[in-house]
């Protein structure tokens, strides 16, 4: 059994789509049976690792992958977070410390549950040139004209001229650069890549974009739509090579 812990549903949808693309081009199977969501909260990450260890505790050779955004953190800080959460989760479940330390990304490490069971654990930090998050990756691999999204730069200049401040992480301000990045990706997938008549809740839903079936709306409705993610984003871009190498660790 293989479990991935990612930050959010959107990360899950993207990883699922990337795995599908890899399987089609390489004729190999990367079967991830379950996804869990951590939201990059240390408490939530520890809880999800604990849940995964319970699920895998009797399956020798099972695998656990942890995918987090690097954001503006140093890689070692993210590794320390992952190791701290693994240690706490393991102690809570098995009442003993562990010797396993993840010292680098994209490498499997054995985590011994007992004399009969060992789980393989690896982590990956989503980034572009050592920084960023999923949206940073998406902006880097877009394939279509992005006029509407790019024009947000003019909006930024406008609100700065009106004494509104764009804030980096940890700074005080009226809007964050992280929010601006998310707006860029939203404008791109909503306005740059869709005809006006089709810009509805179904055609701009991330699950639908990547997997072809939308997430339930407020009325519980889902819909089959075109999985256009591979049209508006290049899943063979070199920016994704590191993440693909991580996924290849979980080849069936």
Residue 4 forms beta bridges with which residues? 35, 65
Is the distance from CB of 141 to CB of 233 less than 8 angstroms? yes
pLDDT for the residue numbered 99? 85
Percent of the chain with pLDDT over 90: 74
Instruction: Judge whether residue 191 has pLDDT over 90.
Output: yes
Measured at the CA of 63, the angle between CA 59 and CA 69, to 5 degrees, comes to 145
Q: What's the pLDDT band for 81 if we cut at 50, 70, 90?
A: very high
Pairing of strands 109-112, 118-126: antiparallel
Dihedrals phi, psi of 180, to nearest 5 degrees: -65, -40
Q: What's the pLDDT band for 173 if we cut at 50, 70, 90?
A: confident
Whole-structure pTM value: 0.93
Contacts of 185 (CB under 8 A, 6+ apart): 135, 138, 139, 149
Residue 46 CA to residue 166 CA, distance in Å, equals 32
Query: What is the mean predicted confidence (pLDDT) over 80-98?
Result: 94
Q: What's the pLDDT band for 198 if we cut at 50, 70, 90?
A: confident
Is the distance from CB of 211 to CB of 188 less than 8 angstroms? no
Q: For residue 153, what are its two tokens?
A: 């730069």
Task: Name the nearest CA neighbour of 42 among 8, 72, 80.
Answer: 80
Is the distance from CB of 183 to CB of 177 less than 8 angstroms? no
How many CB atoms sit inside 10 A of residue 105's CB?
21
Instruction: Judge whether residue 217 has pLDDT over 90.
Output: no
Is the distance from CB of 66 to CB of 125 less than 8 angstroms? no
Question: CA 155 → CA 167, 175, 179, distances in Å?
Answer: 15, 12, 13
pLDDT for the residue numbered 125? 97
Instruction: Judge whether residue 13 has pLDDT over 80.
Output: yes
**Cα torsion at 56, 59, 62, 66 (round to 10°)?**
10
pLDDT for the residue numbered 187? 96
Q: What's the pLDDT band for 31 if we cut at 50, 70, 90?
A: confident
Q: What's the pLDDT band for 252 if we cut at 50, 70, 90?
A: confident
Q: Which residue segments constitute the domains of the chain, with CATH numbers given?
A: 2-130+239-248 (3.40.980), 142-234 (no CATH)
Question: CA 197 → CA 144, 191, 203, distances in Å?
Answer: 18, 11, 10
- Strand ranges inside 157-225, DSSP E: 166-167, 175-176
Average per-residue pLDDT in the chain?
A: 93
Residue 249 CA to residue 243 CA, distance in Å, equals 10
Instruction: Judge whether residue 50 has pLDDT over 80.
Output: yes
């Amino acid at each position: 059994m293989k479990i991935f812990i990612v930050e959010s549903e959107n990360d899950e949808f993207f990883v699922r789509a990337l795995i599908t693309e890899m399987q089609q081009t390489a004729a190999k199977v990367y079967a991830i049976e379950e996804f869990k969501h951590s939201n990059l909260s240390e408490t939530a990450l520890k809880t999800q690792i604990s849940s995964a260890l319970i699920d895998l505790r009797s399956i020798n050779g099972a695998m656990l992958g942890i995918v987090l955004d690097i954001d503006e953190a140093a890689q070692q800080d993210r590794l320390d977070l992952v190791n701290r959460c693994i240690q706490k989760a393991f102690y809570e479940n098995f009442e003993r410390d562990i010797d396993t330390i993840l010292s680098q990304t994209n490498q499997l490490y054995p985590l011994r549950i007992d004399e009969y069971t060992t789980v393989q654990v690896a982590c990956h930090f989503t980034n572009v040139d050592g920084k960023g998050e999923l949206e940073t990756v998406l902006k880097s691999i877009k394939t279509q004209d992005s006029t509407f999204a790019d024009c947000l730069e003019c909006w930024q200049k406008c609100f700065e001229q009106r004494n509104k401040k764009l804030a980096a992480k940890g700074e005080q301000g009226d809007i964050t650069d992280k929010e601006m990045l998310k707006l860029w990706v939203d404008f791109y997938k909503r306005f740059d890549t869709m005809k006006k008549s089709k810009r509805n809740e179904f055609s701009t839903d991330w699950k639908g974009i990547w997997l072809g079936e939308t997430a339930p709306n407020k009325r519980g409705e889902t819909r089959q739509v075109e999985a256009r993610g591979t049209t508006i984003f290049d899943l063979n871009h070199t920016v994704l090579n590191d993440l693909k190498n991580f996924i290849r660790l979980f080849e069936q």
